[in-house]
Structure 1
Amino acid sequence: MSALANYTIKRSHNLQPRLLSSLHVFSLLIFVILLTRAQITSAQEHDVPPEELENVGVTEKLGEFVSDDITLTNQYGEEVQLADYLHNDRPVILAMVYYECPMLCNLILQGLMKGLSELSWQPGDEFDVLAVSISPTETPELARANKENYLEQLGNPDAADGLHFMTGSEEEVRRLGDQVGFYYEWNEQTQEYMHGSSLIFLSDEGKISRYLHGIDYPELMLRNALYDAADGRIGSPMDRVVLYCFQYDSQSGSYVPVAVNIMKIGGVITLVLLGGFLGFFFLRERKSRTEYAT
């Protein structure tokens, strides 16, 4: 066998482990890619909501108006219209719930009462609260019992005139829900309504101004949302200063601090304090010169 043949055989033997190693690495890489794609596909499939939840949720319709001719029934069994709670120079907090809800609606209303209990403004004076049942089978008596229960939780009997617990027909309540973007469905299997958890803030003209999502409504968020819904017509000058530091974030459905505004207020306060400090020493020096001259 020639020297060239011997070299070629040895060279091929040396290359075989490297070639096999490269094939192993390549195969492993292909496997990882396929596995990753499978996981992504599985995650995407899991992100797709179940069919029964496709028409359930809250779609924000900021700036739109609700019809004030929507007919409801109050806790005393009297037929009323939404107009009776609008055009009173007060914003409205709308909570779409149902009174026999096993859990979520109770948490929404409890969170609202907790936030209102810490608020210096009072329902019936600066704003109104309107709880509307999405269940057409619930009665005014049930609404009245719930009002008494949550009024007790609020711990403020004087707020009774500003808390309104309503029922209504399927058609009218659906119309209200569609206008404010609150969509819900009855689940025959669980015998419960499927719905979201949000408070909707209306101006006194029925304009949708804010949404607060979830079940926890801190006093500062309620105050900001009411201030915005009232177009700045409620609250003290100090409230205006504090609320100036926060801005509504539509993506999170909450209020977040605004660094620029906080810095502006901080700058004004610094100038006022510095001016007062310098003024004090100027007056003191002037007084000293007057006494020395005399």
Structure 2
Amino acid sequence: MAAPAHTSMRFVKRLSSPSPGADRAIRSLIAALLTILGGLLVGPVPARARLVQADLAHVAVAPPPSARVPLELAVTDARTGRATTLGQALGGRAALLLPVDYTCGNVCDPMVSMAADALAATGLAAEHYAFVLVGIDPRDDAAAARRMLAETLGDRAAGIRPLLVSDAALAALTGALGYKAVYDSGTDSFAHPAAAMLLAGDGRVARVLSPLALTGRDLRLALTEAGEGRVGSLADRLTLLCYGYDAARGLYTPLVQRILTVTGIATILGIGLLIVGLTRRTRLRAG
């Protein structure tokens, strides 16, 4: 195991020593980095996926007319471990209900964070609304829910109610909401809508919102209307997937690809700055 480290040290010494081979090594490294960058910009190598387009066609949220969540639904508060009902968790207030996978490695964390930021930007007091998370993976336990909140929001997680539900309760809730997710055993993840349900105090679905496109001003207005019992028009279908890659084509989604590209560019720029510094050091020693 010592051989790779020894080789790396020799390479660094070669870059930092005033020798004709140093310039050639630098040029070769730059060429290799440019090749990697070109690959990131063109696109990643297709990955195998278990889900196909026919599976993803079912992933959406389409609430039926007069949709209403079952307030008597049995749930468990992941913070306290106590059994309660969805109605008690909502407390008769207008609420933002966000179905999430507590162990998701894709878009769930940003959804929760951006929704929390938008709620804070409304300027409304916390007692005027409820922010409830419902786990869509019955295998996730209370520790997973608490860990997600701690890692994603830290101190901003106060007041958020993370709930756990059984398979039967989840089926009842998603059925009432017209919410459909698909499990991918190949990646042990869910393809599911990145959607939040805005609920009136009596549990009626007032609106379907995208947590990734919420603003404090719009959310304040929607919460105020929901708090007054006014229900807006529902989107017919929302198919913004919380999924790491396009399983039908085996390619990363544009969002994830942009993240990978930016990260790759930042890494390459950092290495480039290191190379420039080593080159200057070499020239100063040679002079």
Q: TM-score, normalised by structure 2?
A: 0.58
User: Is residue 131–residue 166 contact of structure 1 (8 Å, CA) maintained in 2?
Assistant: yes
Q: In the TM superposition, what is the alpha-carbon distance from 1:252 to its structure 2 partner?
A: 9.6
Q: In the TM superposition, what is the alpha-carbon distance from 1:54 to its structure 2 partner?
A: 2.8
What is the match of residue 65 of structure 1? 68
The match for 2:88 among 81, 84, 90 is 84
- Does residue 110 of structure 1 match 2:113? yes
Over the aligned positions, Cα root-mean-square deviation in angstroms equals 2.5
- Does residue 207 of structure 1 match 2:204? yes
User: Is residue 109–residue 152 contact of structure 2 (8 Å, CA) maintained in 1?
Assistant: no
What is the match of residue 121 of structure 1? 124
Q: In the TM superposition, what is the alpha-carbon distance from 1:62 to its structure 2 partner?
A: 5.3
SS at match of 1:215: helix
What is the match of residue 274 of structure 2? none
The match for 2:185 among 185, 188, 195 is 188
What is the match of residue 46 of structure 1? none
The match for 1:178 among 161, 175, 180 is 175
User: Is residue 63–residue 209 contact of structure 1 (8 Å, CA) maintained in 2?
Assistant: no
Distance 1:248 1:70, change over 3 A: closer
Structure of greater relative contact order (alpha carbons < 8 Å, 6+ residues apart):
2
Distance 1:223 1:62, change over 3 A: farther
Q: In the TM superposition, what is the alpha-carbon distance from 1:174 to its structure 2 partner?
A: 2.0
Q: In the TM superposition, what is the alpha-carbon distance from 1:153 to its structure 2 partner?
A: 6.0
User: Is residue 61–residue 208 contact of structure 1 (8 Å, CA) maintained in 2?
Assistant: no
SS at match of 2:196: strand
Distance 1:188 1:181, change over 3 A: same
Question: Over residues 256-293 of structure 1, what are the superposed CA-to-partner deviations in whole Å (9 max), with x where a residue is unaligned?
Answer: xxxxxxxxxxxxxxxxxxxxxxxxxxxxxxxxxxxxxx
In 1, the alpha carbon distance for the partners of 2:204 and 2:92 equals: 13
In 2, the alpha carbon distance for the partners of 1:137 and 1:97 equals: 13
Q: TM-score, normalised by structure 1?
A: 0.57
Amino acid at match of 2:140: E
Larger Rg over CA atoms:
1
5+ residue gaps, structure 2: 1-51, 239-287
Q: In the TM superposition, what is the alpha-carbon distance from 1:85 to its structure 2 partner?
A: 2.4
Distance 1:248 1:224, change over 3 A: farther
SS at match of 1:84: helix
Question: Over residues 77-122 of structure 1, what are the superposed CA-to-partner deviations in whole Å (9 max), with x where a residue is unaligned?
Answer: 2111112124x34111100011111111112112102212212113
5+ residue gaps, structure 1: 1-48, 234-246, 254-294
Q: Please show how residues 37-76 of structure 1 align to structure 2 within 5 Å.
A: 50-61=53-64, 63-75=66-78, 76=80
Amino acid at match of 2:72: D
In 2, the alpha carbon distance for the partners of 1:73 and 1:249 equals: 28
